Structure formats: structure tokens, C-alpha cells
Structure 1
Amino acid sequence: MSRINTNVQSLIARRVFDGNNTSLNRALTRLSTGLRINSGRDDPAGLIASETLRSSKVALTAATDNARRADTILSISEGGLQEVNALLLDLEDLIDRSANEGGLNDAEIRANQLQIDSILTSINRLANSTAFGDKKLLDGTAGFTTSSVTTSKLALVAINSAKVPDNSFRNVSVEVLNGSTFAFVSAYGNERAGTPLTIDGQLSGVVTLQIAGYYGTEVINFASGATQAQIAAGVNASTQLTGVSATTSAMTGGPTAVIFASTIFGSKGFVSVDVITNAVTGLNLGGGARSVTRNGVDGTININGQVATVDGLNASISSGTLAADLILTQSFGTTDGGSSTFQITGGGARFQIGPEASLSGQETIGVDSVSTASLGDAVTGFLATLQSGQTNDLNSKNFADAQRVVRRAVEQVSSLRGRIGAFQKNTLGSAINSMLVAFENTSAAESAIRDADFAVEASNLTRAQILVNASTSTLQLANAGPQNVLALLG
């Protein structure tokens, strides 16, 4: 062509040069950043996918850090509880030693009581001082709050974990089902009715009874002529040792009888009465039997529609949304068809251990107070009753009751430590491991989309460099073309 105003070949060469130069710059950018996608124009769909994956990685990292922080907090709680456990064992040791009245004088008893008072003070100090920063861990502030608890039906409500919606509450219903047997042991032929163990009238001769129950066995001698009231009193004098009490009851169409009953409700409670002496008149254990044993039966209780684990008057439930331990009152726990409802209004130590900032990503654990006013229960008694001047101090001589209170406290603290340990291992530990695996896989997916393949980009760089050099030379030749037209002018 012999035109000079428009150099089409030069325009083509320049366009190709620009494209090659763009490819060269893209390859250099990817090699310098290590990323295949540096802006939206590199891969719009890939950018959206990679940013979504990066968001997931951020959430997973934060949740993993939260879980590790929660583990640290609970480890501090465990440390405080471990020390409380040790102090409780010291308490039981002092009670056992003080019960050896024949080997201790009054000064030694007073010294032991001073040690008990000091231990109780230390337990209260641990309950109030164990903290993570300014967050108290064992004073009850990490426990759940409840409302509308009917204390005439529920003696104790301990919420171990619960998922409660923000600014809301969770209802908890407790039902003692129709047809359920009550956890009470009386000396009848079966759990609900039958031939009673009776002692009719007065004994015409000396009789020896062996009474056994949950706490132990006692052999009791009754003199000839002993009345029903005297027999009941003799049995009741050993109730703390046997777990069996006795009352008198007028039998329909018959004489007044002595009824033996376990003080422990449920399948653990039992009554065993054995006649050790030879037969005497006035004694009838139903059908002429000389040995009768009857066991209690645990009730059937539903909590939020789920069958609870029942042990006497104790009922517990553990599910993904609620874990709780309840102690029912005797009147409620032994009556068929009863029901009660209360609300969990909040509280608990809530940890965000999932990538989703919602209930599905949160786990809670209740850590109730371990102060002396809280350890124990209304049935057994509270640890504070061991303080000087209280009902179970050493001067009261209630060594058996004091020991039961301490053992109940040991059971509570040990159970709490176990729950915390299970939460750390099974909830936090598994969550951390799961999120680490999820982070690895998410990172791999993001890398496949976003990261540059250096082998490919190095090849692209070499190709682009060659093409840029070639297009530069071509552009020079194309620009020189119009100058050849000048030769036509002579």
C-alpha cells in the first residue's frame, strides 16, 4: 500500500504490542505477589469465591482462638476446684478424727473446730477470688439464672448447660408421669401395697431384730412386753446407722402395727427385717416369714418431654439444648401426675466456639457457686452448717450428718470438675480439632482459586517477554513502511 496518513500495519502491531505488554505485566504481578487473582478483572467469579472462603477462614480462626481462650478460662476454674476438693478431704479427715471422742479431749476438739472454720473460710475465699481478669469464675456469676421455680415441688435446680436465645428465656417442664412408682420404701409386701411387716400387740418374750437399710445394719434387742411405740422408738434410735425409720399405724380391722420405712428414696433405698431369736407370740412378719426385704422403686419423670435419669428424688437430663440436675421434694416426687414449669432466663458461661455467631455456634456451661453456703443441699444440709455455732459443728456431735454434708459437697465439686473436664475435652477439644481441619481444607480451596502457579506464570512470563520483543521489532518495521513511499517522489 502507498498511503501515508493511515498506517494500518502499525496500528495492528501496536495493538498486539499492547496485549503482549499487558500479559507481561500480569505475569510479573502474579509472580511478585504470588496470587493469580490480584483484582476483580483477573477472575470476577474466582474473586467472589475466594473472598467468601477468606471470610470463612477469618471466622474459623476467631472461633479457634475463642475455644482456646475458653479452655484457658476453664482450666483456671479447674485449678480452683481442685484446691476446694483438697480442702473438703481435709474436712472429712477432721470429722473422722473428731468422732473418736474416746481418744480426744475437749481442747483437741476445739482445735479441730478451729481448723474446720479455717478451711471453710479458705473455701469461701477461693469461691470469691478465682477469676480470669476481672471475671469471677466460682462465685456463682457463671451459673444460670432461673425464675418461677416452685420450691414446694423442686428443692434444687442446677442447670449445667442450656441454649437460651438472646433477650429471651427457655421453658423447662417437669412431669411425674401417671402410673410412675414413687421412690419411697416402706415395709410392705410390694412397692405400693401388700402385707405389712407388723408387730401386733405386746411381745410375750425377748426378741432380737436385725434391721438393715442404705446406711448399714443394726441388731436391736427388745424386752418382753415391749409395745409398738417402744419398738418404733428403738428402731428410730438407730436410724442414722441404718437408714430405716419406724412408725406405728392402726391397721384396718386389726391391731396397731409398726411400719418400717427407708429414709432413702428410690431403688437405692431398702428395708430388711430379720427375726434372729426364736419365735415368740405377738410377732408377725406377714405370712409367718422370719425375714423380709423390700426395695424402693425410682419414679418415671419427663423433663421437657425427654425421659430423665432418676435416682430417688433426683432427676437429671442431658441433651444438646439442656443439661440439668433436679432434686424433687418428697410430696412432688412421690405423687403421680404432678407437673411443674420454670424458666431459664440467662446466665451461664457462654463461649462462641463456632464460625457462626448464633446459638448453633455457641456452647454454654453453668458453673455454680462453691461457697460454703452453696455446697450441699436442703436435704443433706449445707457446708456452712459445719461452722462454729452451727447445727453440724463438732460440739453438736452430729458427726454422721457432718460427714454426709461433706461427702455431698465432694460429690458436687467432683461432678463440676468432671463436667468442666468433659466440656474441655469433648466440646472445646473436638471443636478446635474440627475447625483446624476445616481451616486446612478451606485454605486449600482458596489457594486453588487465588494463588498463582509459579511454573505456569514463569512460562507465561517467558512467552510474554518473547512476544513483547517480537511485537516491538514488528512495530518498528511497521512504522518504517510509510517512509518507503517517499521513494516514489524521485
Structure 2
Amino acid sequence: MVVQHNMQAANANRMLGITSGAQAKSTEKLSSGYKINRAADDAAGLTISEKMRKQIRGLDKASSNAQDGVSSVQTAEGALTEVHSMLQRMNELAVQSSNGTNSSDDRQAIQDEVDQLTTEIDRVAETTKFNEIYLLKGDDSSTKNVYMNAHDAGLKGTLADGAKSATFTMDELKTGDSVKIAGKQYTIGASKADVGAALDKKLLIVPTTAGEYTSGATFSVNNETYTITTKADKSIEKITNSAGQTAYEDGGAIKWASTVPTGKNAITDVKKLVNEGDTVKVDDTTMKVMTAADVTAGVDSDDSSIITKAQAEKMIKEELTAANNIGTTDKKATVAAGVTADGKTTYAITKGYATVANTLSFNLHVGADADMTNKITVDIDTMNSSNLGIKGINVKDATGTAATYAIDAIADAVAKVSSQRSALGAVQNRLEHTIDNLDNISENTSSAESRIRDTDMAKEMVNYSKNNILAQAGQSMLAQANQSNQGVLSLLQ
């Protein structure tokens, strides 16, 4: 028997120490709720867990970023809702002012309301902001030129609109044609020679085949009907009136007789029957022969609805210019003189523009990583009256023509606001899906991180209970081992 080395007690003490250490770790895990409280607990698990925590917190903040983005988009879109309402009211006023029953005072009252609405649209664009960011006034650091949409001024033809220029093409105006310009109907008149030539061409079998006339063709001059009779070669043999008399020349004068006197020649040129001031009609075409003075002036002195082709083209150019200059605050639109080819007249339009602040653009970071694909760009154009093309809009002219053109300009503005609202709505829908996806990823990543780092309380409680029992047993065994050497004392007595 030895007393220097009590190996039973030493062994019991060592095992008790191990059990106490395990019991302490179980207590720590149960009290903290974490399975990994220090790197030594699970070095690999700690690394994986911290990486997941970084992703989770990034995802949660990205979701918050997206929610802030939704709020900013809703702020801008809500303001544009009011802009839409004001534009719709302006459209009502323009339509009202276009009506001919309004007096000048009526139109002035309408103009006053239009001016107020325009000012309010500018104020909304200037003051709408989210978190001190102005959403509808654009990016003040740079500017761009906004070219106005081209318009046809209500003329009958085809408009081809481009980025900076446009063309308007219509049928070539001919003598006797009717054309509506600025809401008023006009007839193309011409000189005696021009009307006679037009009449001559209409009586041909084929307008492009010279000298071949349609036998029995009729036309009228000042309501007197004339009939042409042709020869075998389709040339004119004679021209007779409703009484059956034949036209002939006598000393430069035109006379009519049942039989052409001997030595006189029947008239075979229809142009000779046309004089200044006459009204000539063939089929459904009516032509007014204007005096030389009226041709120079461009307008018939007896009937202002009868104008020359040159005057009509001048008026068309002026109306196209007026219609295309609405909203052009920095550069006016210009319209070149019409160019005629192949029966069509084309007017080249150089579009005008307004200079406005550039598009506001900002990025929403909606991911946990630095990848640029995690950014959603929001673009919002300047939504003031200049960019919408309604700045300085006029609806108070005496005829209502300007108000009529303003309707088109307001329609363009409504379309532009609609486009911007649609773009914002699309971004909002995208952000809502983004938020749902981020929340889903965050939830599932948190679940995975929990399995690595969190304490399984039920399992750990089993370990704790086991270690508690082992500790008690160890303490008891240590006490017994310490008592085993008491037998040595009996040998010393």
C-alpha cells in the first residue's frame, strides 16, 4: 500500500475535470443559445456562419433599399397623377376655346386658367422631392434639347416624323381643287391661261395624251354648257353651245351661229372660250378664272375663298410652321417651301426644341454583393411645361385655330406623362418582386446559418443532464478513492 500516489483518486479527479469542462460548455451553449461561441468550438462552422451573416445582413439592407426605392417611385408617380389631371383639364379648355361661339373675353378667361395650370405643372416639377432629392426637375448638372413632335396642322396628307426633322406630303394642288387650311375651305383659282390649260387637259381622253379629245365631252362656262365634237383623229372639230350653235372667230371676237359663216373658222381651242372672271366647270371640278391683279395678290377680290396655288402653298407652310412651333422655347421650327414631284408636294420640317435639364437617374442597390447587376436604375425625365411642350401655349386667338393646334400639343404632353408613369409603374412592380425575392433568400440563408451556429436546446439539454449525473458520480468516486488510503493508518498503530 502506498500513500504518495493515490491513483484511484487521481483518475477520478481527472475524469471529474473532463466532465466539469463538458458540463461548463453545455451550460454556455444552453445559456447563450449558440452552438459556436468561439472559433475553437467549430472553426470551419464559424467561417461559414460569418459569411452567411454578412450575406443575410446585406440582403436585409438591400430589401430596405428596394422599399425606399418603391417609396420614391410612388412619390414621383403620385405627383405625375396630378400633372395628368391638369393636362386633362387643359385639353378640355383647348377644345372649348376651339369652338367658334366663344367671344374674345371668353377665350381670355380660358387662357387665364390655362396659364395657371401651366404654372402649377412647373411648380409641381420644381418642388416634388423625396429625402431631399428633387424627382421631377431633372439633373441640373447638364441639359438636353427636347425636340417637339411634328404636327400636320389638320391638313390632309401624310406626316413622317423623325428625331430632328419631319416631312409632310400631300397631293399636288391643281386648279379647281378644294383644300381646307386652318379650318377654312378654299378653292384653287388661277389665271386665264392656267384655267384654260387645266380645262383642256380634263377634256382629253387620257390627260397625258395631247390632242386626243373625248367626243361629246361637255364643260360649262358661267353655267352655259358647251359640247365638243371630234374628228376621226380625235382632234376637236367644233364646240357647240346648248342651243346647238357653233363657236367661231370673227375679227378677234367669239360669236355663235348655227352654221359657221363662209370664210370664218370654227373655234377648236377650248381656252379661247375662257375669260377673266369666268367660272368654268367640267365634271365635278369647278375652276374660277382670276384677274391678273387677283393672281398677283393670290386671293380673288370677289371671293376670298378662291386663292392661287402659290397662295395656298404659302398658307400651308405658315400653318405648318405655327402648328410645329408650339412649345419650342429655345429654337423655333422652320418649314421649307413645298417641293412637287410625281403629283405630290412635300414640305420639309426642321423641328424646334426646348432646352431642359437632363434626365434624373439614380441606382437602387438591391443585392448583398458588389455586383453591378444588383443595381436597378430609375430614370425620371424633367416633367415641367418646357419638356412637355406646353410652355407658353396659346388658346385665345380670334379664330380658335391656335387652340385647335394646342389640342395636339397637349395630347403629346399627356402621352409623355403617361409614358413616364408607365416606366415608374414598371420599376415599382419590379422592385416589389425584388423585395419578395430578397426576403426569401434572407429567410432561407438565416435558416441555414441557424443550423450551423444555433444550439439544439433539446439535444444539448440531454448532454447537460448526462454531464451533471457524471459530475455527481465523479465527485462520489473521488470521495471513495480518498477514503481508500485510510487503511494505512491501521498499520501504524
**Coarse TM-score class (shorter-chain normalised):** 0.5 to 0.7
Do 2:138 and 2:358's aligned partners in 1 also have CA atoms closer than 8 Å?
Answer: no
- 2:345 pairs with one of 239, 260, 266: 260
Structure 2 counterparts to residues 299-338 of structure 1, below 5 A: none
Deviations 1:344-380, CA, capped at 9 Å, x for gaps: 999622222221245332222122221222222xxxx
TM-score by length of 1: 0.62
CA contact (8 A) 1:208 1:222 kept: yes
Q: How many Å apart are 1:456 and its aligned residue?
A: 1.0
Query: For the Cα contact (< 8 Å) 1:210–1:217, is it kept in 2?
Result: no
Q: Secondary structure at the match of 1:365?
A: strand
Distance in 2 separating the partners of 1:445 and 1:472? 40
User: In structure 2, what is the Cα distance between the partners aligned to 1:71 and 1:478?
Assistant: 74
Q: How does 1:160-309 map to 2 (within 5 A)?
A: 207-208=176-177, 221-223=187-189, 225=191, 230-231=308-309, 233-234=311-312, 237=315, 249=339, 259-261=344-346
Q: Distance in 1 between matches of 2:363 and 2:429?
A: 16
CA distance in 2, matches of 1:219, 1:104: 21
Question: Per the alignment, in what secondary structure is the counterpart of residue 120 of structure 1?
Answer: helix
Q: CA RMSD in A?
A: 3.9
Are 1:236 and 1:246, in contact at CA under 8 Å, matched by a contact in 2?
no
What is the aligned partner in structure 2 of residue 359 from structure 1?
A: 372
**Structure 2 residue aligned with 1:425:** 429
Partner in structure 2 of residue 140 of structure 1: 138
Q: AA paired with 1:401? A: Y
- Conservation of the 8 A alpha-carbon contact between 1:209 and 1:219: yes
* CA displacement at 1:217 relative to structure 2: 11
Q: Distance in 2 between matches of 1:90 and 1:109?
A: 15
- In structure 2, the CA distance between the partners of 1:247 and 1:117, relative to structure 1 (3 Å rule), is closer
* C-alpha separation in 1, matches of 2:182 and 2:104: 29
| Aligned-partner residue type, residue 364 of structure 1 | T
- Give, in whole Å, the separation in 1 of the partners of 2:127 and 2:449: 46
Equivalent residue number for residue 100 of structure 1: 99
Asked if the contact 2:172–2:343 (Cα under 8 Å) also holds between the matched residues in 1, the reply is yes
Q: What is the aligned partner in structure 2 of residue 385 from structure 1?
A: 392
Q: After the TM superposition, which residues 22-33 of structure 1 pair with which residues of structure 2 at under 5 Å, given as runs?
A: 22-33=21-32
Contact 1:351 1:364 in 2 (8 A): yes
| CA displacement 1:21-76 (0-9 Å, x = unmatched) | 12222222222222211222211111111111111111011111111111111111
Q: Deviations over 1:75-131 (max 9, x none)?
A: 111111111111111111111101113x11122111111111111121121112212
Partner Cα separation in structure 2 for residue 345 and residue 374 of structure 1: 10
Distance, in Å, in 2 between the alignment partners of 1:29 and 1:84 is 63
What is the distance in 2 between the residues matched to 1:345 and 1:394?
Answer: 32
Shift, 1:231, TM fit: 3.0
Counterpart residue type for residue 381 of structure 2: D
Report the counterpart of residue 401 of structure 1 in structure 2.
405
When residues 248 and 39 of structure 1 are mapped into structure 2, their CA distance, relative to the original with a 3 A threshold, is: closer
Instruction: Tell me the secondary structure at the aligned position of residue 395 of structure 1.
Output: coil
- Offset at 1:210? 7.7
CA displacement 1:462-482 (0-9 Å, x = unmatched): 211111111111111122222
What aligned pairs does 1:464-483 form with structure 2 within 5 A after superposition?
464-483=467-486
1-structure distance, mates of 2:172, 2:96? 40
Are the equivalent residues in 2 in contact too, given 1:246–1:260 (CA < 8 A)?
no
Give the gaps of 5 or more residues in structure 1.
157-181, 189-196, 252-256, 265-328, 332-343, 377-382, 387-391
Code of the residue aligned with 2:392 in structure 1: it is T
Percent of aligned pairs with the same amino acid: 27
Instruction: Establish whether residue 462 from structure 1 lines up as the match of residue 475 from structure 2.
Output: no
Task: Find the counterpart in structure 2 of residue 129 from structure 1.
Answer: 127
Q: Report the residue type matching 1:422 in the other structure.
A: A
**SS where residue 384 of structure 1 aligns?**
coil
8 A contact 2:178–2:187 mirrored in 1: yes
1:155 CA displacement: 4.9
Report the CA distance between 1:262 and its aligned residue: 6.8
Counterparts in 2 of 1:236 and 1:454: CA distance versus 1, 3 Å: farther
Kept in 2: contact 1:186–1:259 (CA 8 A): no
Kept in 2: contact 1:348–1:366 (CA 8 A):
yes
In structure 1, how many angstroms separate the alpha carbons of the residues matched to 2:462 and 2:371?
47
Secondary structure of 2:410's aligned partner: helix
CA drift at 1:448:
1.0
